[in-house]
Amino acid sequence: MTQPLIAVVEDEEHIAEGLIFNLEAEGYRTHHEADGDAALAWLLSAKEPVAAVVLDVMLPGKDGFAIVRALREAHQYTPVLLLTARGRPEDVLEGIEAGADDYLTKPFDLAILLVRLKGLLRRMAWHAPAEGATAAPAEPKDEYHFAGRTICFDALEIVAPHGSARLTLMEADLLRYLVEREGKIVSRKEILEQVWRVHEDTDTRAIDNFIVRLRRYIEDDAAKPRFLQTVRGVGYRFIASGER
């Protein structure tokens, strides 16, 4: 079995070199890009599957946010771990909103970076379709059904009467959080802290945008949400039956 390939997109030479040294010591193969435009072009035309991308935000050419957005628009769901020096919650949320799966602020802790990366790879491994004879014994499927819709947490997919959509890991995490607390009100602060690990008072508008996107996947009419309800001044509530 070949080792997973990790793309490191980082223009700071020293950090890139250090990351690559460590990733290779962990047994990964690596590919390095230092320019935003070149990185996106490479990722979109990679000859072999890339297991994960470690992506800096401030890059010459396209910035990290734009790269994630472009990848997701091209229906590429390679897990992306954002590295950002701008650690303000707004920046983190912008990254998550763009479709990144995880983020770390610089200066980061090497051990944490490696653990998070391993986490991303493991979650993707669950989600990957089983191949040939080496398919894992059928595990109980991690799915959730409601009102004619199915959220497949392992396939990162949501199937609704009006079509199906791919979810990013972050979206799946948020949905799972809401679904597990079905009927209960979940505050925006709780989402920030529990789901995305952002611990600061911040403008919560980014969450609203996120919810709007989830609604587009599951609601018949995103303007009149039945399942993902807004509780004014508090937060959100998931109602499986879709009743008020």
Partner 1 sequence: MNITRRRGAIALFITLGVCLVGLLVTLNIGWIHLLHKRQLALLVGGIVLFGVLIAGVVLNTIFLVREVRRNERQDSFLNAVTHELKTPIASIRLYLETLQRRPVTEEKRQEFYRIMLSDSGRLLATVEQVLKAGEASHRKEKDIHRVLIDMEPLVAECIVITRQRHHLADDAIVLRDVPGAVSLKVMGSPEDLRTAVLNLLDNAVKYSGGKVHVVCELGISGYNRVVLSVTDAGIGVAAKDLKNIFKRFYRAQDVTLRQVKGTGLGLFIVRSIARQHGGTATAESAGHGKGTTMRIELPLAGTGGSSASS
Among 44, 74, 85, 231, which residue interacts with partner 1 (rule: CB under 8 A)? 85
**Which ranges of 129-242 would DSSP assign to H, the alpha helix?**
169-180, 188-190, 205-218
Residue 234 near residue 128, CB atoms below 8 Å = no
Q: Is the dihedral of CA 115, 117, 121, 127 positive or negative?
A: positive
Query: Of 21 and 126, which CB lies nearer to partner 1 in the complex structure?
Result: 21
Residues in Cβ contact with 45 at an 8 Å cutoff, skipping those fewer than 6 apart: none
The β-bridge partners of 84 are 105
CA atoms within a 13 Å half-sphere pointing along the CA-CB vector of 95: 28
82 binds partner 1 (CB under 8 A): no
Among 3, 21, 193, 216, which residue interacts with partner 1 (rule: CB under 8 A)? 21
61 binds partner 1 (CB under 8 A): yes
Query: Of 30 and 78, which CB lies nearer to partner 1 in the complex structure?
Result: 30
49 binds partner 1 (CB under 8 A): no
DSSP 197: -
Which strand (E) or helix (H) includes residue 208?
A: helix 205-218
Farthest CA pair distance, the chain: 55
Least distance to partner 1 from the beta carbon of 199, Å? 18
Q: Which stretch binds partner 1 (CB under 8 A): 12-20, 67-75, 189-197, 221-229?
A: 12-20
59 binds partner 1 (CB under 8 A): yes
Among 29, 32, 72, 106, which residue interacts with partner 1 (rule: CB under 8 A)? 106
Query: Of 60 and 161, which CB lies nearer to partner 1 in the complex structure?
Result: 60
201 binds partner 1 (CB under 8 A): no
Query: Of 15 and 165, which CB lies nearer to partner 1 in the complex structure?
Result: 15
109 binds partner 1 (CB under 8 A): yes
Among 31, 34, 37, 63, which residue interacts with partner 1 (rule: CB under 8 A)? 63
25 binds partner 1 (CB under 8 A): yes
Least distance to partner 1 from the beta carbon of 139, Å? 34
> Can you tell me whether residue 51 is helix, strand or coil?
coil
Neighbouring C-beta atoms of residue 175, cutoff 10 Å: 21
Query: Of 90 and 142, which CB lies nearer to partner 1 in the complex structure?
Result: 90
Residue 189 near residue 198, CB atoms below 8 Å = no
Q: What is the spatial distance between Cα 165 and Cα 185, in angstroms, rounded to a whole number?
A: 25
